[in-house]
Structure 1
Amino acid sequence: MAPVLRLYLAVPGLLFLAFFRLTEGGKLLVVPQDGSHWLSMRPLVEELQRRGHEIVLVVPESNIMIETSHTYTVKTYHVPYTKEFLESKVRSMGHAVFSEKSILEKVVALYQRISNMTEMILSTCRHFLDNKELIQSLKESQFDALLIDPVFPCGQIVAEYLSIPSVFFMRAIPCSFNHEAAQCPSPASYVPRLFTTYTDRMVFFQRAKNMLMSFFDGLLCRAIYAPYGALASQFLQREVTALELFSGASLLLLRYDFLFEFPRPVMPNMVFIGGINCAKQMPLSQVGNI
């Protein structure tokens, strides 16, 4: 009877040892985008740190909104521009977004804005990847996963190099590349394309126009993101396309609510997290009479 009793008493200890590893915090590498993209991602990063995970951010030394914090470690790398230059870029883009234009003019203007921004971000990415000391430090840190905003997929190149799973935290990219990369159907018959202002219920002419926009949508994506495929091929020493970079995501956290979106197919690794940026309501200082 005594051996049975000893075994019974040992079970809690064995269970503790078996599941102890599951309670440890992980090491998360974060490669965010500056501006409002970071404002959306920051609450998630801070909550992950609060739950015991080790967070390391890698950002350019010149940025607008990403600051040091006691909740996470920030590593920087040199870039050939200043904070003032970035702020002027953002202001000019803001003025262009709210101007009244036709669909074709909007597409052309978007392509020009993104091309200009892509050139600067691509230069930033090169400086990141060329920083051998930083890259080696990241490799030695043995991160468990990487969190990125994939609107510019430099972080995914690093994820491929470090051989770690990546999590996309995103609202959308300027075209349907993310759905194509995830092999997610996107029927033009009821999934409206960017700039069309259509709903999921279209007449034949609208569907035909939506199909035509799908063609231009694909061209736009490939023109914008092709340089990242070339940069990834050079850095990883193997042939890589931009589409392959986007297809590398293990999980896609989509910052919108399906209740406010038109019906469309989604994949199992697409998780809707709409409302994650909503702040908790503060109590009123006093209650007035009605």
Structure 2
Amino acid sequence: MALPFQCFYQCTWMFLLLTLSLTFAEGGKILVIPQDGSHWLSMRPVVEKLQQNGHEVVVVVPSTSLYMKPKEPQNYTVKVYPIPYGEEHLAVTLKSFVNAHFIEQSVLNIIITMYQSMLEVSRFFFTNCKSLLHNEDMMHYLRESKFDVVFTDPILMCGPIITEYLSVPSVYFLRGFPCGMDSEATQCPNPPSYVPRLFLNNSDSMTFAQRMKNMLVHMLEFVYCKPIFAQFEELAYEIFQKKVTATDLLSRGSVWLMRYDFVFEFPRPVMPNMVFIGGINCDQKKKLSQIFGYQPGL
């Protein structure tokens, strides 16, 4: 398991060098806008490591969350903002989302229920983001704190909106984006004739029929993703008083730390600011004990 941890430390240093542009003797001031759930479980070790390396880290979290509990012991600063939902509402929303993905049903019902549950979850996190942006005390604190960089999971757009509002560089930490928005935002080639769409189980070597299916799914993505991100675009318009798309906001990202390993992905173009850090999700394991008296080298 040495390789994943080598990747972890290399990417941590790359993050610091590319975004903070500080000397080794100085510490940066980092604002963290995370995403709840498994997203935060992957990001938290990086946040802790940044704090240990002498950087001042401030994590902004909602009053109700699944894993981002402010009462847990931590060595970084946590700022909590109130939201109009309690633990029960969050539990019901997430249960509905999980059921839509794992309850056995017809293909058509799976598509419909998954889409409906995705819209419901996105509305919940949209309310969280709106509550943060309309919290005058919190926004005043963020403006006056003069952060050097925003470290965020951009999947539901609140981090990119905050980044644009504060006019500071940003580092994205994510597994990927639906509908190829990451490729569009980074101006990375993503031709549907060669790059398989998500969940189709195609390789980069597709038959004509598979390419046609890939193209149809690509066209469907415009309908699928528009309602999810339109509400965030409206919120951005309210904040900036100008029309801005989700892709426009994402394009401001300085570095994209992608939480998957290129070894397990199909060949496709990537941009220079897209860094693969799949090993960051691996925990260090203890060495295997000797079994039945076997000793290495014998």
TM bin, normalised by shorter chain, reads: 0.7 to 0.9
Contact 2:97 2:121 in 1 (8 A): no
Q: CA deviation at 1:20?
A: 8.6
Match of 2:124 in 1: 120
CA deviation digits over 1:77-126, x for unaligned, max 9? 11111123212322222222123456654443332111111111111111
Match of 2:36 in 1: 34
Match of 1:270 in 2: 274
Looking at structure 1, the residues matched to 154 and 278 of structure 2 have their Cα atoms a distance apart, in angstroms, of 17
| Bigger relative CO (Cα 8 Å, ≥ 6 apart) | 2
With normalisation by structure 1, the TM-score equals: 0.88
Looking at structure 2, the residues matched to 98 and 37 of structure 1 have their Cα atoms a distance apart, in angstroms, of 19
1:63 alignment partner, one of 62, 65, 77: 65
Match of 2:47 in 1: 45
Which residue identity is paired with 2:157?
P
The SS at the match of 2:60 is strand
1:76 alignment partner, one of 57, 74, 80: 80
Q: Does 1:279 align with 2:283?
A: yes
Contact 1:56 1:72 in 2 (8 A): yes
Measured at CA, do residues 21 and 32 of structure 1 come closer, stay the same or move farther in structure 2, by a change above 3 Å?
same
Match of 1:4 in 2: none
Paired residues, what number?
Answer: 271
Q: Which runs of 4+ in 1 moved over 6 A?
A: none
With 264-273 and 194-203 compared, the bigger mean Cα shift is at 194-203
The SS at the match of 2:254 is strand
Contact 1:144 1:165 in 2 (8 A): yes
Where in structure 1 are there 5+ consecutive unaligned residues?
Answer: 1-18
Looking at structure 1, the residues matched to 246 and 287 of structure 2 have their Cα atoms a distance apart, in angstroms, of 47
The SS at the match of 1:252 is strand
Which residue identity is paired with 1:230?
E
The SS at the match of 1:263 is coil
Measured at CA, do residues 133 and 20 of structure 1 come closer, stay the same or move farther in structure 2, by a change above 3 Å?
closer
Q: CA deviation at 1:219?
A: 2.5
Match of 1:165 in 2: 169
Looking at structure 1, the residues matched to 63 and 224 of structure 2 have their Cα atoms a distance apart, in angstroms, of 30
Where in structure 2 are there 5+ consecutive unaligned residues?
Answer: 1-20, 294-298
Question: Taking every aligned residue pair, what percent have the same amino acid on both sides?
Answer: 48
Which residue identity is paired with 1:260?
F
Match of 2:5 in 1: none
CA deviation digits over 1:115-168, x for unaligned, max 9? 111111111111100001100101111001101111111111111010011111
The SS at the match of 1:49 is helix
Match of 1:191 in 2: 195
